[in-house]
């Protein structure tokens, strides 16, 4: 093909950025009963986890679709806490030692709130927050066959607490743990806990909310971003925001325990009255701990809209960003009913969604642009790069740090989503997922995959040996593409890769067979590396 | 195609709506005569002018950068442990009101040579103390009250999107063969965000080569959802490849001609200089410095003219000066101007850790051959006795500075100017360049501003009183600013005839303390402090 013509063609093309056209899907929530091949398993794993490893694909190929989803949902591991990985800290020429915790031990039981020197406290706090990000990255890279890490990230996106606002390692860890411990549980109960979680109180000014000066920040986000949303059928009023703010007055953070408590002096004891959207509910003033919080959240979740809102968010996270009228009535509405019938257990809704015809519909495959963590963690895992255990603070944390920073440069920064509403890729019209890739992040993505090859992190021969017949260049290219891309390239495209990277100049297929069988390791590695780098630079590689 | 009608029909709703919804309540019409003449001078993609934006990330301590000599006693009392000794402050030609931080010798020289202007107390009406949010506000020019309607596009992104419709599909082309904006940094900023795409490119190493081989045009799947994304990815990777080649060859064609100091800002500015000399028609370059969040030890205990902030001031001053010299040696100084900005200034009172906490308004500088010489605005008024969290009131809205740059450097006209900035802002006398800069000098403007009468009686005031003021005529704004730097009361926003006026107020229920009264009329403004009685 003439490259020049192609480029011209591409340049003249106009991109249509908005697609709110009906997509013509006819599939609903009935269980999927079609073929169960590498394609379907990879689709499930790339959406429910970060990347699909060959070993995981093989594992699930021998099970049914339903069993695979069950296993992903049930396999929730217990995790060990983050560790002190830092030595003596230095800030502007002053050295600080964290005397509370030795290196290699977890710091989560020390609250770092008894040291007088604010400089030392701040230095320790920053170092701990850094270790927290490394630890989490390590957990993502070391994920087991489970939906766990994808869902922890979902809740982080959903509640979107930012370290810049919270700036306290203990609060951030406890908040993270709260999400992790309720990852597939009852979303209504999670909302109650998050409402009075110190990190959230700090993040959205709940700790400043008092009866004399109600701060509506959290009350507004609670409804708009966390529970009922701004959909057509979400009819809460401005007055509901004000009344909810009153119900939430007085929550403060205890200095010594760093836990939340209700300061009754600051709490509004009046009766809060809500609109018809909430069935004109009232909440009587109560000085009894979280009683009003519980009533408020129960009231919000008693609307049909609330379950639908949660289901739409899950849909955009796992399936596709555009919910057309068909999907709204045939997927979202029944799924929300399932969520309600199961007392808001998220696992119940996810189980039905991920086993559904709709999820496996061809139109829902390969149309998802990888998030930064899909990209970095997916590449590391799919290339079978050996990764230290997440508890390995000496060898693991430095690597996790670099991965975490790479992802941050690609616009997914752990503990610092860009907005109170999470990552715009899951809500910002018209681009949605496309927001992940632009002329800033694309070079960083390419630099990352290039570096994996250039730094010799990939066992290239080992990877090729996974192929049914690595000596056959056609088979090898097909297998590498199957491993890394969501759908087969055309034969012309596969030919292009084969000719340009595996074969000798003007050689035929046997020139690769000879190289593979008798060539030096250096030559084989170079050819494989170039081919792999090329495949990972393809636009197709960003789809999952 | 008719450019003007295009602008009106095609500006994305997301860009123009919020400005209209907020009701253009901040007008500053009647800035300067000669609007019709300027209209004639405006041309499409107006000129070959280039803007270099220097972000001072973390919140720059403006009071130690531009030291108020005429307020020195109160300045010293408020921040004794970080105050720059009066005798060390660098004096500036033609003014004894303010001087520069002792480390800024190069900028002192730029000022004296008429290549630097300073705008005092630049801020906004509803200051946010979060780095994150305030940076967003500065980069977007957000004027919304409701955070959920907040503006996601950058002020420069909107300008570029308007100037170069159809980006990226129709670019590069003959009219604009180069990237519209380039950020020399690894992180992208909101400044150049357009309504759907970033209008800018990020580079850190202009020589780095990415292949982004994209030789396939087939769409293997019968799946429109997947093909849509694949099409998008192919366009982006093609643009990135095309533009990185353009950048690389421009960079290779040029060489720096001035000596730069060895620091991070200079490294970025050196790249910018080479890209401009290499022939890029790129309109905007964004570079940045970090480390301005000087909560502690911003100065050394023994000598407050040294320390973290002094190093930053030196880096800024020396790098900008070297860049300006480079532009002159390359013969490009006619085309290039620069501007600094920071998300906020710092608190008037210093803290016990030899540092300063998050504040509000602060000075910014513009540099280049065509900026007006002088200091626009008065030294910020520092009351004799202040609370820990007393903040400076703004004299100039940062969006008035943006408006003036767009109008006088890039020749953007009304009503486009208001559309891009989401409402009307003051037009300030900062740039003299042909074809659209203004005649008025900074000192004339200052004299006029200070000459306006503005008086509140009684003072201290309680619930009611009288405000006396004189105006030139036209749209007038009178705001009361709280000790936190926030506008808490708008007394007037309407047209007034030229002359003296009296305005009565009552039922003003505010906590006691120091407040600031701000009068704005056309391009003039004045701020005085008033006291709310207990």
pLDDT tens figures, A486-510: 988 888 899 999 999 999 998 999 9
Please indicate, yes or no, if residue B56 is contained in any of the structural domains: yes
The answer on A265 and A277 residing in a single domain is: yes
Please indicate, yes or no, if residue A319 is contained in any of the structural domains: no
Determine, for residues A442 and B236 on separate chains, whether the beta-carbon distance falls below 8 Å.
Answer: yes
Domain endpoint, select from B444, B471, B500 = B444
Mean pLDDT, range B64-83, rounded to an integer: 97
Cβ-count burial A48-82 (b if 16+ within 10 Å, e if not): bbbbbbbebbeebeeeebeebbbebbeebeebeeb
Determine, for residues A10 and B236 on separate chains, whether the beta-carbon distance falls below 8 Å.
Answer: no
Query: How far apart are the CA of A13 and the nearest CA of chain B, in angstroms?
Result: 7
Q: What is the pLDDT of residues B313-358, one digit of tens each?
A: 999 999 999 999 999 999 999 999 999 999 999 999 998 889 998 8
The predicted structure's pLDDT at residue B148 = 62
Q: What is the DSSP letter of B471?
A: E
Q: Where does the pLDDT of residue B11 fall: very low under 50, low under 70, confident under 90, or very high at 90 and above?
A: very low
Determine, for residues A439 and B202 on separate chains, whether the beta-carbon distance falls below 8 Å.
Answer: yes
The answer on A141 and A24 residing in a single domain is: yes
Domain endpoint, select from B397, B416, B444 = B444
pLDDT above 70 as % of chain B:
89
pLDDT above 90 as % of chain A:
84
A:262-301 residues touching chain B, CB 8 A cutoff: none
Q: Where are the beta strands (DSSP E) in A240-308?
A: 251-253, 260-262, 272-273, 282-283
The predicted structure's pLDDT at residue A11 = 30
Please indicate, yes or no, if residue A494 is contained in any of the structural domains: yes
B:123-152 residues touching chain A, CB 8 A cutoff: 130-132, 147-148, 152
The predicted structure's pLDDT at residue B208 = 73
The answer on A483 and A358 residing in a single domain is: no
The predicted structure's pLDDT at residue B13 = 26
Determine, for residues B216 and A9 on separate chains, whether the beta-carbon distance falls below 8 Å.
Answer: no
Residue with tokens 């220097």: B54
> Cα torsion for B318, B321, B323, B325, to the nearest 10°?
-130
Q: Which domain holds residue B460?
A: 452-523
Please indicate, yes or no, if residue A311 is contained in any of the structural domains: no
Please indicate, yes or no, if residue A314 is contained in any of the structural domains: no
Determine, for residues A13 and B235 on separate chains, whether the beta-carbon distance falls below 8 Å.
Answer: yes
Which residues, listed in sequence order, are joined to residue B130 by a DSSP beta bridge? none
Look at B45 and B275; give whichever has higher pLDDT: B275
The answer on B440 and B456 residing in a single domain is: no
The answer on A153 and A45 residing in a single domain is: yes
Residue A495 Cα distances to A4, A73, A498, B280, angstroms? 19, 40, 5, 38
pLDDT above 90 as % of chain B:
70
Domain endpoint, select from B387, B414, B444 = B444
Which residues, listed in sequence order, are joined to residue B289 by a DSSP beta bridge? B56
The answer on B101 and B223 residing in a single domain is: yes
- The helix/strand/coil state of B330 is coil
B279 phi, psi to nearest 5 deg: 105, 5
B197 contact residues in A (CB cutoff 8 A): 431, 438
Please indicate, yes or no, if residue A340 is contained in any of the structural domains: no
Please indicate, yes or no, if residue B534 is contained in any of the structural domains: no
The answer on B162 and B47 residing in a single domain is: yes
Query: How far apart are the CA of A3 and the nearest CA of chain B, in angstroms?
Result: 6
Mean pLDDT, range A261-278, rounded to an integer: 97
The predicted structure's pLDDT at residue A441 = 87
B:160-219 residues touching chain A, CB 8 A cutoff: 169, 183, 186-188, 196-198, 200-202, 208, 210-218
The predicted structure's pLDDT at residue A143 = 97
Determine, for residues A492 and B218 on separate chains, whether the beta-carbon distance falls below 8 Å.
Answer: yes
Please indicate, yes or no, if residue A7 is contained in any of the structural domains: no
Q: What is the DSSP letter of A363?
A: G
Mean pLDDT, range B11-34, rounded to an integer: 27
Mean pLDDT, range B141-148, rounded to an integer: 80
Determine, for residues A367 and B232 on separate chains, whether the beta-carbon distance falls below 8 Å.
Answer: no
Distance, CA of A350 to CA of A76 (rounded, Å):
14
Look at A10 and A37; give whichever has higher pLDDT: A37
The answer on B518 and B393 residing in a single domain is: no
Please indicate, yes or no, if residue B280 is contained in any of the structural domains: yes
Instruction: From B289, B416, B306, B522, select the one nearest B7 (Cα to Cα).
Output: B416
Q: Give the closest of A439, A487, A493 to B239, CB-based.
A: A439
The answer on B403 and B463 residing in a single domain is: no
Q: Where does the pLDDT of residue B186 fall: very low under 50, low under 70, confident under 90, or very high at 90 and above?
A: low
| Residues 6 or more apart whose Cβ sits within 8 Å of residue B122 | B341, B361, B362, B363, B364, B394, B395, B396, B397, B398, B401
Q: How many whole angstroms from its chain centre is CA B224?
A: 44
Q: Where does the pLDDT of residue A62 fall: very low under 50, low under 70, confident under 90, or very high at 90 and above?
A: very high
The predicted structure's pLDDT at residue A1 = 28
B:210-239 residues touching chain A, CB 8 A cutoff: 210-218, 220-226, 228-239
Residue A261 Cα distances to A211, A264, A289, angstroms? 15, 9, 7
The predicted structure's pLDDT at residue A3 = 30
Look at B365 and B47; give whichever has higher pLDDT: B365
Q: What is the pLDDT of residues B354-372, one digit of tens each?
A: 999 889 999 999 999 999 9
pTM: 0.78
The answer on A211 and A178 residing in a single domain is: no
Over 90: is that where the pLDDT of B30 sits?
no
Query: How far apart are the CA of B235 and the nearest CA of chain A, in angstroms?
Result: 7
Please indicate, yes or no, if residue A374 is contained in any of the structural domains: no
The answer on B415 and B459 residing in a single domain is: no
Cβ-count burial A396-427 (b if 16+ within 10 Å, e if not): bbebbbebbebbbbbbbbbbebbbbbbbbbbb
Q: Tell me how many domains chain A contains.
A: 3
The answer on A27 and A168 residing in a single domain is: yes
The answer on B385 and B495 residing in a single domain is: no
Please indicate, yes or no, if residue A12 is contained in any of the structural domains: no
Q: Tell me how many domains chain B contains.
A: 2
Decide if A445 touches B, using CB distance below 8 A: no
Determine, for residues B225 and A320 on separate chains, whether the beta-carbon distance falls below 8 Å.
Answer: yes
| Ranges A275-289, A331-345, B41-55: which has the least confidence | B41-55
- Mean residue pLDDT of chain A comes to 93
The answer on B471 and B435 residing in a single domain is: no
Q: Which residue of B has its CA nearest to A417?
A: B132
| Residues 6 or more apart whose Cβ sits within 8 Å of residue A35 | none
The answer on A141 and A283 residing in a single domain is: no
Determine, for residues B201 and A92 on separate chains, whether the beta-carbon distance falls below 8 Å.
Answer: no
Distance, CA of B311 to CA of B317 (rounded, Å):
10
Q: Give the closest of A424, A492, A542 to B233, CB-based.
A: A542
The answer on B459 and B386 residing in a single domain is: no
> How many of the other CB atoms lie within 10 Å of CB of A264?
15
The predicted structure's pLDDT at residue A103 = 97
Q: What is the DSSP letter of A514?
A: H
The answer on A137 and A203 residing in a single domain is: no
Q: What is the DSSP letter of A453?
A: H
Q: Where does the pLDDT of residue A30 fall: very low under 50, low under 70, confident under 90, or very high at 90 and above?
A: very high
Please indicate, yes or no, if residue B532 is contained in any of the structural domains: no
| Ranges A99-113, A226-240, A322-336, B184-198: which has the least confidence | B184-198
Distance, CA of B516 to CA of B409 (rounded, Å):
32
Q: Which domain holds residue A481?
A: 459-542
Residue A101 Cα distances to A82, A107, A163, A173, angstroms? 12, 6, 22, 16
The answer on B466 and B423 residing in a single domain is: no
Determine, for residues A492 and B234 on separate chains, whether the beta-carbon distance falls below 8 Å.
Answer: no
The answer on A125 and A32 residing in a single domain is: yes
Instruction: From B364, B421, B367, B401, select the one nearest B56 (Cα to Cα).
Output: B364
Q: What is the pLDDT of residues A448-467, one digit of tens each?
A: 999 999 999 999 999 999 99
The predicted structure's pLDDT at residue A189 = 98
Q: What is the pLDDT of residues A117-133, one digit of tens each?
A: 988 999 999 999 999 99
Over 90: is that where the pLDDT of A257 sits?
yes
Over 80: is that where the pLDDT of B424 sits?
yes
The answer on A194 and A124 residing in a single domain is: no
| Ranges A65-79, A122-136, B157-171: which has the least confidence | B157-171
The answer on A231 and A145 residing in a single domain is: no
Mean pLDDT, range B4-15, rounded to an integer: 27
Over 70: is that where the pLDDT of B478 sits?
yes
Residue with tokens 């609670």: A222
The predicted structure's pLDDT at residue A230 = 87
Looking up residue B496, the CATH number of its domain turns out to be: 2.60.40
Determine, for residues B233 and A437 on separate chains, whether the beta-carbon distance falls below 8 Å.
Answer: yes
Domain endpoint, select from A287, A302, A317 = A302
The answer on A99 and A44 residing in a single domain is: yes
Distance, CA of A367 to CA of B513 (rounded, Å):
59
Instruction: From B338, B313, B516, select the one nearest B430 (Cα to Cα).
Output: B338
The predicted structure's pLDDT at residue B213 = 66
Q: Give the closest of A118, A230, A439 to B198, CB-based.
A: A439
A:50-109 residues touching chain B, CB 8 A cutoff: 92
| Residues 6 or more apart whose Cβ sits within 8 Å of residue A114 | none
The answer on B172 and B220 residing in a single domain is: yes
Q: What is the pLDDT of residues B191-234, one digit of tens each?
A: 998 887 788 888 878 887 666 766 787 887 789 999 999 999 99
CB B273 within 8 A of CB B330: yes
Q: Give the closest of A11, A364, A367 to B229, CB-based.
A: A367
Q: Where does the pLDDT of residue B139 fall: very low under 50, low under 70, confident under 90, or very high at 90 and above?
A: very high
Q: Where does the pLDDT of residue A19 fall: very low under 50, low under 70, confident under 90, or very high at 90 and above?
A: very low
The answer on B307 and B290 residing in a single domain is: yes
Q: Where does the pLDDT of residue A89 fall: very low under 50, low under 70, confident under 90, or very high at 90 and above?
A: very high
Please indicate, yes or no, if residue B533 is contained in any of the structural domains: no
Q: Give the closest of A9, A162, A537 to B211, CB-based.
A: A537
The predicted structure's pLDDT at residue B46 = 56
């Amino acid at each position: 093909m003439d490259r020049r013509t192609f480029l011209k063609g591409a340049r003249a093309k106009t991109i249509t950025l908005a697609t709110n056209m009906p997509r013509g899907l006819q599939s609903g929530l009935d269980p999927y009963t079609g073929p169960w091949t590498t394609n379907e398993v990879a689709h499930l794993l790339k959406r429910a986890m970060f990347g699909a490893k060959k070993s995981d694909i093989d594992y699930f190929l021998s099970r049914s679709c339903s069993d695979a989803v069950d296993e992903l949902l049930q396999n929730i591991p217990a995790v060990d806490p983050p560790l002190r990985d830092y030595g003596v800290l230095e800030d502007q020429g002053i050295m600080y030692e964290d005397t509370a915790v030795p290196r290699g031990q977890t710091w989560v039981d020390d609250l770092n709130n008894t040291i007088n020197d604010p400089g030392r406290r701040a230095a320790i706090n920053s170092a701990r927050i850094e270790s927290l990000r490394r630890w989490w990255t390590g957990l993502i890279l070391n994920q087991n066959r489970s939906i766990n890490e994808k869902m922890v990230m979902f809740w982080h996106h959903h509640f979107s607490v930012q370290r810049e606002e919270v700036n306290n390692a203990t609060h951030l860890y406890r908040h993270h743990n709260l999400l992790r411990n309720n990852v597939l549980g009852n979303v209504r109960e999670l909302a109650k806990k998050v409402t009075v979680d110190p990190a959230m109180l700090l993040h959205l000014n709940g700790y400043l909310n008092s009866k004399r000066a109600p701060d509506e920040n959290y009350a507004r986000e609670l409804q708009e971003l966390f529970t009922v949303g701004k959909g057509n059928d979400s009819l809460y009023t401005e007055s509901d925001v004000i009344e909810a703010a009153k119900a939430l007055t007085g929550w403060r953070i205890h200095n010594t325990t760093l836990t939340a408590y209700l300061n009754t002096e600051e709490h509004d004891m009046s009766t809060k009255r809500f609109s018809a959207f909430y069935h004109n509910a009232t909440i009587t003033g109560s000085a009894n701990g979280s009683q009003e919080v519980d009533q408020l959240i129960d009231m919000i979740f008693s609307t049909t809209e609330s379950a639908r809102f949660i289901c739409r968010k899950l849909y955009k996270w796992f399936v596709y960003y555009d919910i057309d009228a068909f999907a709204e009535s045939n997927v979202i509405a029944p799924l929300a009913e399932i969520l309600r019938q199961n007392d808001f257990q998220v696992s119940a809704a996810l189980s039905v969604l991920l086993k559904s015809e709709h999820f496996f519909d061809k139109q829902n495959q390969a149309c998802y642009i990888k998030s930064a963590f899909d990209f970095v963690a997916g590449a590391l895992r799919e290339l079978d790069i050996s990764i230290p255990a997440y508890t390995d603070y000496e060898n693991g944390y430095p690597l996790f740090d670099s991965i975490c920073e790479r992802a941050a440069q690609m616009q997914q920064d752990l503990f610092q989503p860009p907005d109170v509403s999470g990552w715009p890729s899951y809500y910002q019209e018209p681009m949605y997922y496309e927001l992940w890739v632009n002329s800033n992040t694309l070079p960083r993505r390419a630099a990352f995959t290039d570096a994996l090859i250039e730094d010799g992190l990939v066992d290239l021969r080992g990877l090729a040996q996974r192929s049914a017949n690595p000596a056959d260049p056609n088979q090898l290219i097909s297998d590498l593409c199957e491993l890394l891309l969501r759908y087969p390239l055309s034969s012309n495209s596969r030919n292009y890769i084969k000719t340009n990277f595996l074969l000798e100049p003007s050689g035929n297929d046997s020139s690769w067979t000879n190289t593979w069988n008798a060539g030096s390791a250096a030559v084989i590695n170079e050819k494989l590396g170039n081919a792999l780098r090329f495949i990972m630079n393809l636009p197709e590689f960003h789809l999952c | 195609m008719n450019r003007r009608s295009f602008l009106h029909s095609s500006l994305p709703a997301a860009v123009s709506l919020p400005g209209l919804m907020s009701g253009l309540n901040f007008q500053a019409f009647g800035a300067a005569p000669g609007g019709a003449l300027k209209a004639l001078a405006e041309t499409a993609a107006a000129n070959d002018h280039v803007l270099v934006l220097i972000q001072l990330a973390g919140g720059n301590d403006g009071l130690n950068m531009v030291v108020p000599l005429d307020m020195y006693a109160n300045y010293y009392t408020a921040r004794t442990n970080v105050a720059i000794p009066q005798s060390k402050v660098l004096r500036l030609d033609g003014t004894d009101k303010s001087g520069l931080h002792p480390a800024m010798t190069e900028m002192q020289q730029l000022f004296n040579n008429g290549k630097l202007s300073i705008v005092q107390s630049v801020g906004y009406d509803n200051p946010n103390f979060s780095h994150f949010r305030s940076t967003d506000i500065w980069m977007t020019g957000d004027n919304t009250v409701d955070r959920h309607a907040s503006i996601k596009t950058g002020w420069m992104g909107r300008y570029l999107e308007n100037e170069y419709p159809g980006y990226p599909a129709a670019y590069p082309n003959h009219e604009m063969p180069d990237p519209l904006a380039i950020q020399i940094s690894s992180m992208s900023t909101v400044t150049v965000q357009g309504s759907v795409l970033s209008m800018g490119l990020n580079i850190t190493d202009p020589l780095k080569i990415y292949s982004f081989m994209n030789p396939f045009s087939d769409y293997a799947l019968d799946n429109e959802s997947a093909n849509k994304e694949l099409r998008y990815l192919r366009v982006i990777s093609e643009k990135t490849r095309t533009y990185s080649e353009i950048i690389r060859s421009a960079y290779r064609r040029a060489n720096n001609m001035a000596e730069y100091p060895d620091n991070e800002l200079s490294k970025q500015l050196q790249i910018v200089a080479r890209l401009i000399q290499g022939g890029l028609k790129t309109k905007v370059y964004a570079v940045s410095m970090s480390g301005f969040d000087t909560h502690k030890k911003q100065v050394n205990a023994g000598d407050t003219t040294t320390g973290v902030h002094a190093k930053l001031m030196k880096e800024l001053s020396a790098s900008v000066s070297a860049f300006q010299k480079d532009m002159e040696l390359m013969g490009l100084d006619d085309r290039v101007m620069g501007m600094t900005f920071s998300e906020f200034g710092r608190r008037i009172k210093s803290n016990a850790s030899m540092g300063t906490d998050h504040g509000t308004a602060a000075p910014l500088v513009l540099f280049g051959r065509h900026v007006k010489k002088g200091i626009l605005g008065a030294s910020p008024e520092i009351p004799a006795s202040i609370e820990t969290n007393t903040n400076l009131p703004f004299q100039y809205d940062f969006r008035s500075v943006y408006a003036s740059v767009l109008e006088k450097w890039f020749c953007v006209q009304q009503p486009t100017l208001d559309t891009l900035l989401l409402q009307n802002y003051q037009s300030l006398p900062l740039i003299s360049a042909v074809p659209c800069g203004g005649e008025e000098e900074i000192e004339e403007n200052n004299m006029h501003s200070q000459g306006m009468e503005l008086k509140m009686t009684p003072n201290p005031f309680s619930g009611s009183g009288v405000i006396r003021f004189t105006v030139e005529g036209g749209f007038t704004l009178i705001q009361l600013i709280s000790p936190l730097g926030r506008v808490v009361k708008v007394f007037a926003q309407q047209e007034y005839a030229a002359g003296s006026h009296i305005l009565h107020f009552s039922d003003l229920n505010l906590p006691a303390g120091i407040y600031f009264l701000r009068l704005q009329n056309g391009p003039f403004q004045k701020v005085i402090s008033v006291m709310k009685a207990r």
